[in-house]
């Protein structure tokens, strides 16, 4: 463990801004991750309403431009990034996206954005709200540095070699701490009582959520782990041989997501789409990768227009 006083922490941030693109939670109408210009912009009191994934997995991204037989891939040189204030759920969601975009098959666009990136977490001292269930999902320690708020200072846990190099580079800001271990348990976050839902797919209680679902896809877009996308070509009417191929976020809750040629829709029923998202989060991804895709941040429930609490629905299944 290291330690850093908060006024010293602000000086560290000011120093980082000169060399890095510093991204942190900022409170405006809602809390969101943004590139900051001053350390005073950072807001630690509540988690960001929006996920941080857009800084790696872009909402809209041009994959290449074409003009006849000529194809040109945009040359990108992403800035070195320092992300600050990531909760444990968001850090684990970055790990999940790494599994999908780097470990399984390398996505060059995502990987380039993830390179030269330092992840600095902020540990929750208490449960975020009634929708959080991160304690149910055995989240891993995945960070370069983790901040533990101790009032006038932060305890700092080093979690990687990159974190060690970072502390060494900015050693003038850090002090040794006498604290060797710290309690990482967030009381009240173990809300999902049924960890295995494999036998519940045909349970009648799913209808409680299906009836209220609007298929608006807010749950997908607010999820820090969801990584589905569509690819489309944008062409000029005057010259159909010229245009660009783009990747955009997509959502399994939208009927059009599984629509194919001939107008066949693989998940035409709302019930199928509703259950698919939850089973991908809690079952399918785990069967393939050994961990849940879901990290229990609660954003999908918090941002749902009809507040569908699928955790409560699952817990009540008998």
Residue 209, pLDDT score: 97
For the residues 264-282, what does the mean pLDDT come to?
97
Q: Which of 99, 110, 100 is nearest to 54 (CA)?
A: 110
pLDDT in tens, 3-23: 999 999 999 999 999 999 999
3-state secondary structure of 92: helix
pLDDT at 73 over 90: yes
**C-alpha to C-alpha distance for 64 and 74, rounded to whole angstroms:** 6
pLDDT digits (tens, 9 = 90+) for 12-58: 999 999 999 999 999 999 999 999 999 999 999 999 999 999 999 99
Give 190-201 pLDDT, tens digit per residue: 999 999 999 999
pLDDT at 104: 86
d(C-alpha 227, C-alpha 48), whole Å: 19
pTM of this structure: 0.94
The DSSP-derived string for 45-75 is: SS--SS-SGGGTS-SEEEEEEEETTEEEPPP
Residues 139 and 189: their CA atoms lie apart, in Å, by 12
């Amino acid at each position: 463990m290291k330690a850093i006083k908060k006024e010293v922490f602000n000086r560290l941030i000011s120093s980082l801004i000169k060399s890095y693109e510093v991204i942190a939670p900022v409170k405006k109408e809602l809390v969101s991750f943004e590139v900051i210009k001053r350390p005073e912009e950072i807001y630690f009191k509540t988690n960001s309403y929006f996920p941080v994934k857009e800084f790696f997995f872009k909402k809209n991204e041009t994959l290449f431009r074409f003009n006849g037989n000529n194809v040109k891939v945009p040359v990108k040189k992403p800035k070195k990034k320092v992300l600050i204030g990531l909760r444990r759920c968001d850090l684990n969601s970055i790990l999940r996206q790494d599994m999908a975009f780097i470990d399984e098959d390398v996505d060059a666009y995502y990987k380039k954005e993830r390179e030269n990136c330092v992840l600095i977490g902020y540990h929750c001292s208490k449960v975020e709200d009634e929708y959080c269930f991160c304690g149910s999902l055995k989240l891993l320690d995945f960070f370069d540095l983790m901040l533990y708020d101790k009032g006038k200072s932060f305890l700092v846990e080093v979690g990687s070699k990159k974190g060690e190099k970072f502390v060494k580079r900015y050693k003038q800001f850090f002090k040794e701490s006498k604290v060797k271990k710290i309690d990482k348990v967030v009381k009240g976050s173990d809300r999902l009582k049924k960890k295995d839902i494999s036998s519940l797919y045909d349970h009648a209680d799913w209808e409680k959520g299906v009836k209220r679902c609007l298929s608006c896809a807010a749950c997908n877009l607010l999820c820090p782990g969801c990584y589905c996308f569509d690819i489309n070509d944008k062409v000029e009417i005057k010259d159909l041989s010229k245009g660009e191929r783009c990747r955009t976020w997509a959502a399994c809750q939208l009927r059009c997501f599984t629509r194919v040629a001939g107008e066949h829709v693989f998940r035409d029923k709302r019930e199928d789409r509703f259950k698919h998202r939850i089973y991908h989060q809690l079952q399918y991804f785990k069967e393939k990768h050994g961990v849940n895709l879901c990290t229990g941040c609660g954003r999908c429930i918090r941002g749902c227009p009809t507040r569908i609490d699928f955790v409560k629905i699952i817990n009540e299944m008998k």
